[in-house]
Each structure stands twice: as structure tokens, then as C-alpha cells.
Amino acid sequence: MMNVGAAKDGDAVISIRGVSMSYGARRVLDHVDLDVRRGEILVLLGGSGSGKTTLLKHVLGLGKPEAGSITIYGVDITRCPRSELVAVRRRIGVAFQAGALFNSLSVEENVALPLRELTRLADSTIKLVVWMKLMAVGLSEAGSLYPPELSGGMRKRAAVARAMALDPEILILDEPSAGLDPIVSAELDELILFLKRSFGVTILVVTHELESAFHIADRVAMLYQGQLIAVDRKEQFMRNEHPRIRQFLDRQPDAAPGVAAEEFIASYLRGSRI
Amino acid sequence: MTFLEQVGQAAIVRVEDAGALTMQFWSVLCKLPRVLPFVGARRRWRSAVAQMLAIGASALPMSGIMSLCTGFILALQSASELRRYGALDFVVDLVAIGFTRELGPLITALSVSGRSASAISAEIGTMVVTEEIDALQVMGLDPVEFTLAPKYLAALITLPCLTILSTLCGIFAGFLFLAFSMDMSLRIYLLAVAEAILLRDVAFMLIKSLVFATIIVHVGCLEGLRVRGGPEAVGHSTTAAVVKSTFLVILADLVATAIFYLMGWSSLR
């Protein structure tokens, strides 16, 4: 679905400027600046508790940041009226971490839901669109199944199909490969690349799975303790010398628990001797 | 924290609670017409009907049997006292008036609050945990219209119906007792019941059941929406929903009965 006034290739479709957020005394996001450019796959890396989920929620307009702005297609979603936010959301498809499929609806009905509710398409057209979307994610056989009957990989695919239902220009995927075995995870990576190639969507992926991240990414951004410590093309990113990035890429633990315990015991013994 | 600060903090939390309840109630009221048949969206009505089956129809056996038992107990207990004064026929009045004004709505509300407040909060809580509520919002669908409003409508329609049916069950239990102990015929019993009950007792019953329905579905939804964190939080919210809704139902019953008493509507005729 092309639209008038769309950004040219390489322009930022989502631009995050100085976004800060804290829960109580804990700073979750600290002046985050990030651009997602049209047509690229940007992978947002970060460990648990790095603030990536919070950032994602803010991009979707599900929370208001304390400071900063998030502009999507020229609309600052942190300040715009609700109607504009809804209009911007129509151009974004989201596949949530656990799929967020509605358990009372079959896979087909799940994909059809946004079409039924938000468009005036005839039932036969909706059926066709749903079939096409399920075909694209390789689930055309599983349309009549219900979400609890699906395997983890199928559920993620179904979620992607639903996210693609309204032909979004931006696709946001939250942890697409979390909890999947390597083969299914690789299939999902191929699906993401396929969607980019054939539909030209801009894709923002939030993950902590390194292999899949570097396979699909054009650019990689890394969040650490609420701060964006690097945004780079993936080749440069892999050569980044930031200690945290090295630690993350080389899979080094923070501090071995055994060492800390030994130190504690040693200091205790020293203290008790005095 | 000083004592004053603690009191202030607690007060703010309570006020926030009340505010959240009111806000949710108002937003649901605004969306309720969308669920109605003919004027609203077809799909919402369909999901409201599904909710009516879950909240109302499947609660019928339980609340019916509970009322039947309570009616019988009431008749037994009162008969042992009234017999001493030779006023056994007053059992009819006691059971009939007691059930229409008080026990019918209360027992129905308690059984529905046990069954449905927990079910509602578990369903909505799970939707929060699995990000389904977020997904609805991101898709541009209003979670209030989509999930809450059908439940409200279903409860508001089915609870009065259930109340009427379980009141009938309770009154029928009174007949069973009198038929065994006094060989009273059904015709005479029903005439006596019709004599005892006034139309305003029935109106009182229906008003009460509407209030209870609102409390049950409202607390269930709010507790569900409040779930934060993982699946274990859903368990806490279902417990909280049942406890709070049961408590509030009885409190509201007291307030409503007191109002009716003070207005003189329930005085002796």
C-alpha cells in the first residue's frame, strides 16, 4: 500500500529523539535517539532489563515517555491527538512476543479480524486476503486451527500474518525467535527477509538472539541499561570495541557467582580474625 | 516515612482505586450501545450472547439448587419456631418475602460472583499478560468495546433473569416443605404467596440484581486489567476479584436494604 508523501529510501520513518522514561527511581530509558530508515531491517539488541520492551511500547504509543519525542511518518505520537495515533497505527503491523493471538478465534479469524473491523471489504475479499497472508507465512494449511493447537513457530508465523493483514508499511517484531528451536528460528529469519524483499516493508526487530540478529539485520542498535550505546551497520557493529558490546557478542558473564562468594567468605574470615 | 505520610499514601491509593473504577465504568457505559442488537455492531452482540451463556445460562443449575436448599432450610428453621405459636402458615410469608426481597438476589449474586467474577478477571488478566489487550489497541480496536462491554451487557441482562428463576426455586422449596408437613396444595400455596408479595418487592429485587451485576462484572474486569507481570499474577487477580466482589455485593445489599427501609417502602403493610 503505497501512500502519497511517503519517505524516500534511506529517510527515517520512525525517529526517536531524547526519549527518557523511569519507573520509580529506576531509569529505564535514558535519552534514546534512534532512526529507523525506510526499507531497512533494524535490529534492536539488548539484554534482559535493558529497556528494549519499554522502548517498543513507546513506539507503539502504549505509553507516554517522560521526555523526548517519537515521530512516525511525521507525526509526533507522544503529543498528537488520539485520532492521529490511530491513523499512524494503521500503517504499523506488530507481532508480539507470545503472538497475542485471540484464543477464541481460529488462525483465519485472527488474521481476518483487523480486515473485518477496520475495512469495508466484502467477506469473499477478506477470505482471499487472509489466504494470501497465510500463504506468505507458510500457514495456508493451518487456517482452521485454534491458537492453542499451534506450535511455537506456527504461532509466531500466524502473528506475523495478522500483523501483515492491513499491508503495513512498518512491521515490528518483538522477540521473533525467542523460545524456538534453531531450525524454526532460521525459517522465521528467512520469512522476515522474504517479507522485506517482496513487500518492501520497513522492519524493526527487537531481540537478544545474536545469530538471527546478524543474519537479518541491515543495521544493529544496542541498548544497555536504558542507553543506546551503538547504532551501526552490522559489519561495523561486529567490530565495535565498546566493552559491553564485546561482552554481549562474546557471551561473557557479568561476574561469576562463585568468585563473588569466595571473596565474601575471604573478607568475612579476615574480619573475624581481628 | 512518618505516620502522616503513610496515611496520605494509603488515602491516595484508595482515591486512585475509586477513580479507576469510575473511569472504567464511564467508558464502558459510553460503549454499551455498540453491543446492543440492531443498533450496535453485529459481532459484539454475538460475543455478548456467548458471554450470556457463560455468565447466565451455565450458572442456572448452581444458583437454582442453592436457592432450593436455602428455601428449604429457611422453611425448616422458621417452622420449628413458628409452630410453637401455631403460626405455621406464616412460613409462606417468610419464605416468599424473604426470597423476593433478599435471598433471591443475594444467593444469585454470590453464586455468579464466585463463578464469573473469577472467570472474567482470569480471562482479561490472561489477555493482559499475553499482550492481547496491547494487540487490540495497536490494531486500532478499542479493548473496552471489544472485551469489556459485551461482558457488562451480558451480566446486566442475565443476572435479573437468574434472580427471578432462583427466587422461584426458593419459593418452590417452601412449598415442598409445607406440602410434606401440612399437606398444603400448590394452588393454596401460590395464592398465599401472591397475597404476601407486592409488586414493589419484585421491583426491589430487580434493582438489587442490577446493582449486583454491575459490581460483579466491574470488579472482575478491573482486577483483570490490573494484572501486571506473569501468569502467577492472574491467579492473584482472580482471588482478589472473587473476594472483593463478594464483599461489595453484601455491602451494597446492606446499603440498598437500609435505604428501602428508611424510605418506609418495606414497612409492614
Give the residue extent of every domain in chain B: 3-262
CB nearest to B138's CB, from A89, A101, A116: A89
Residue type, B228: R
Question: Which of B49, B131, B225 is the mutation pick for testing A, counting most A CBs within 10 A?
Answer: B131
CB nearest to A96's CB, from B135, B140, B141: B135
Q: Which among B19, B43, B12, B16 is positioned nearest to A113, based on CA atoms? A: B43
For the whole model, what pTM was predicted?
Answer: 0.81
Mean pLDDT of chain A: 82
Quick check: A98 and B139 CB within 8 A?
no
A149-171: b (≥16 Cβ within 10 Å) or e: ebebbbbbbbbbbbbbbbebbbb
Quick check: B43 and A116 CB within 8 A?
yes
d(CA B135, CA A172): 12
Chain A residue with Cα closest to B41: A117
Q: At residue A6, does pLDDT exceed 70?
A: no
d(CA B119, CA B220): 8
Question: pLDDT, tens digit, for every residue of A169-228?
Answer: 899 988 887 777 888 888 888 888 888 888 888 999 988 888 888 888 888 888 888 888
Chain A residue with Cα closest to B141: A117
CB pairs < 8 Å spanning A and B: 44
Interface check for B134 against chain A (CB to CB < 8 A): the answer is: yes
In angstroms, what separates the C-alpha of A114 from chain B's closest C-alpha? Answer: 7
In angstroms, what separates the C-alpha of A83 from chain B's closest C-alpha? Answer: 10
What is the structure's pLDDT at A5? 40
In angstroms, what separates the C-alpha of B138 from chain A's closest C-alpha? Answer: 6
B 10-49 residues with CB < 8 A to A:
43
Question: pLDDT, tens digit, for every residue of A141-165?
Answer: 888 888 888 888 888 888 888 888 8
Question: Which of A83, A85, A92, A96 is the mutation pick for testing B, counting most B CBs within 10 A?
Answer: A96
What is the structure's pLDDT at A4? 40
> In which residue are the cell numbers 436457592 written?
B67
Question: Which of A113, A115, A150, A160 is the mutation pick for testing B, counting most B CBs within 10 A?
Answer: A113
Question: pLDDT, tens digit, for every residue of A102-142?
Answer: 888 888 888 888 888 888 888 888 989 898 888 888 888 88
What is the structure's pLDDT at B266? 61
Quick check: A60 and B138 CB within 8 A?
yes
A-chain CB neighbours of B138 within 8 Å are 60-62, 89, 92, 94
Interface check for B230 against chain A (CB to CB < 8 A): the answer is: no
d(CA A155, CA A161): 10
Q: Across residues A74-90, what is the average pLDDT?
A: 85
What is the structure's pLDDT at B137? 87
Q: Which residue positions in chain B have pLDDT lower than 50?
A: 269
Q: Give residue ranges of A with CB < 8 Å to any B CB.
A: 57, 60-62, 86, 89-90, 92, 94, 96-102, 113-114, 116-118
Question: pLDDT, tens digit, for every residue of A27-71?
Answer: 888 888 888 888 889 988 887 777 888 888 888 888 888 888 888
What is the structure's pLDDT at A242? 81
Residues 6+ apart with CB under 8 A from A120: none
The alpha carbon torsion through A223, A228, A233, A236 (nearest 10 deg) reads -90
Interface check for B138 against chain A (CB to CB < 8 A): the answer is: yes
A1 pLDDT tier (thresholds 50, 70, 90)? very low
Strand residues in chain A grouped as ranges (E) = 12-23, 26-37, 41-46, 67-72, 75-76, 92-95, 170-174, 202-207, 219-224, 227-233
In angstroms, what separates the C-alpha of A100 from chain B's closest C-alpha? Answer: 5
Quick check: A100 and B132 CB within 8 A?
yes
What is the structure's pLDDT at A3? 43
d(CA A222, CA A47): 9
CB nearest to B130's CB, from A86, A98, A117: A98
Q: Which among A153, A158, A150, A155 is positioned nearest to A108, based on CA atoms? A: A158
Q: Are A230 and A221 in contact (CB under 8 A)?
A: yes
Quick check: B131 and A100 CB within 8 A?
yes
In angstroms, what separates the C-alpha of B143 from chain A's closest C-alpha? Answer: 12
What is the structure's pLDDT at A50? 78
Chain A residue with Cα closest to B145: A117
In angstroms, what separates the C-alpha of A274 from chain B's closest C-alpha? Answer: 38
As for the ipTM of the complex, it is 0.78
In angstroms, what separates the C-alpha of A173 from chain B's closest C-alpha? Answer: 12
| Largest Cα span, chain A | 85
Quick check: A113 and B139 CB within 8 A?
yes
